[in-house]
Structure formats: structure tokens, C-alpha cells
């Protein structure tokens, strides 16, 4: 019997469970790498939810950044109608959990920590929006260093709008490194296009989304 991807991993513990499946912490046997495995039963999904899952996979395959949850591989188990997604494991929970914990202890986060989180999140979003890392801190708003020649206008490029940015989707890895995740509601557009789809979590929506208005990145 052929070895499946699941056979290559040791299950360590169950992290959580949702309406579509289970999330487990696993260890890859050949090198000991710790990963997160999403076990999704797609027969429980509506057509729209399947399309969102497919869109998320398309985004994650081509999105590599230190502050974005890394995608490793997937396995389709036809017999059980399951899809296993292997993702980077973020062992320190998410920003939402941290905020709730601070509130319960009646404490505030250190300002230096807040700026560290903010800077990493901006770096991740810049990668999504512009397809490259942010300009050097010594450059100006256009990304030009002192005495640099003007940039040529860029051709239209694909950008990714997360569209559901909230503390619960900002995961924390080793050393509380920011890992932006959950791209299920994201949209890929060309840089000169506008997005007008009404999506997101109500409390975190921008005024444009709440008013069902078209929006751009600028």
C-alpha cells in the first residue's frame, strides 16, 4: 500500500475543531519540523465556501514572507472526501488571544512591543499589496534612496487584498513574530482595478466596505 502524506507525519495534539474539520499539531518524521495540519471535509461546504478555499490555496502557494503564515503542501483524500493542508505552526496563539489575556489581567502591552507588532504587520501587508518587500527605512515615501534615479512606472501587477484583517487573524510564532493568516476572504486584483465585494468581519470593516462603496488601495 502506497504511503500517504499523512503517514509521513506524527500527530502531536489537536489544536482546534470547526464546522469543516479539525486542526492538528503534527511533526514531520523525516526532519522533525512542527507544522499545523488542517483536515477539511469539503462535503460539508457550500459551493461558495469551496470557492473561497480554492482561492485561499491559490494565494498561499505564491505568497512567501517571514510575516505571513507559510503554506507547505496539501493532500486530497478521495475516499474520505478530506483535504489536508500543511501550514506553518504558530505556537503563541493569535493577537486576539493576547489582547483578551491582557484585558483579563488589567494590563497594557509595552509600547515597544506594539510598534514591533505593527511594523511586522505593515511589512506583511506591503508584500500582499505590492508583491515585494517594503522600501528600506532610509528611503523616501516612493522607495527611493537619496540621489537615486526616478523609478519607471510599474506595469499593472497582481495584488492581494486580505479583507478580513483582525486580531484573530494575526498569529504569533516563535518570539511573538507576526504571522498574517486566514486568507479565505482575500481577493487577487490587478493594481489598476477596484474591488467592490462586500466581505469581512463587521466590527473590523472599513467605512467603504460598510457603505458598500468601491475602494482602491490609495
User: Quick one: which H or E segment has residue 114?
Assistant: helix 111-130
Q: Is 193 a catalytic residue?
A: no
Closest listed residue to residue 122, CA positions, set 165, 184, 172 = 165
State CA 167 to chain mean position distance: 12
Determine contact, residues 90/179, Cβ cutoff 8 Å: yes
Write the DSSP string, 25-86.
EEEETTT--EEEEEEEEGGGS-HHHHHHHHHHHHHHHT---TTBPPEEEEEEETTTTEEEEE
Q: Is 200 helix (H, G, I), strand (E, B) or coil?
A: coil
User: Quick one: which H or E segment has residue 88?
Assistant: strand 82-88
Given the residues 110, 136, 164, 182, select the one marked as catalytic: 164
Which residues are annotated as catalytic?
Answer: 164
Amino acid at each position: 500500500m502506497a504511503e500517504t502524506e499523512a503517514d509521513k507525519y506524527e500527530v502531536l495534539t489537536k489544536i482546534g475543531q470547526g464546522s469543516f474539520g479539525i486542526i492538528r499539531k503534527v511533526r514531520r518524521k523525516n526532519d522533525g519540523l512542527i507544522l499545523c495540519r488542517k483536515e477539511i471535509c469539503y462535503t460539508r461546504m457550500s459551493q461558495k465556501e469551496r470557492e473561497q478555499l480554492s482561492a485561499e490555496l491559490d494565494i498561499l502557494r505564491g505568497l512567501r514572507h517571514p510575516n505571513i503564515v507559510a503554506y507547505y503542501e496539501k493532500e486530497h483524500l478521495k475516499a474520505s472526501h478530506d483535504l489536508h493542508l500543511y501550514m506553518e505552526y504558530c505556537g503563541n496563539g493569535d493577537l486576539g488571544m493576547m489582547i483578551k489575556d491582557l484585558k483579563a489581567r488589567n494590563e497594557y502591552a509595552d509600547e515597544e512591543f506594539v510598534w514591533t507588532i505593527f511594523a511586522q504587520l505593515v511589512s506583511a501587508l506591503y508584500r500582499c499589496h505590492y508583491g515585494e518587500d517594503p522600501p528600506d527605512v532610509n528611503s523616501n515615501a516612493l522607495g527611493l534612496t537619496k540621489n537615486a534615479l526616478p523609478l519607471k512606472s510599474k506595469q499593472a501587477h497582481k495584488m492581494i487584498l486580505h479583507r478580513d484583517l483582525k486580531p484573530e487573524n494575526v498569529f504569533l510564532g516563535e518570539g511573538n513574530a507576526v504571522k498574517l493568516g486566514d486568507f479565505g476572504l482575500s481577493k487577487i486584483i490587478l493594481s489598476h482595478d477596484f474591488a467592490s465585494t462586500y466581505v469581512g468581519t463587521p466590527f473590523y470593516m472599513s467605512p467603504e466596505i460598510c457603505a458598500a462603496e468601491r475602494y482602491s488601495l490609495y
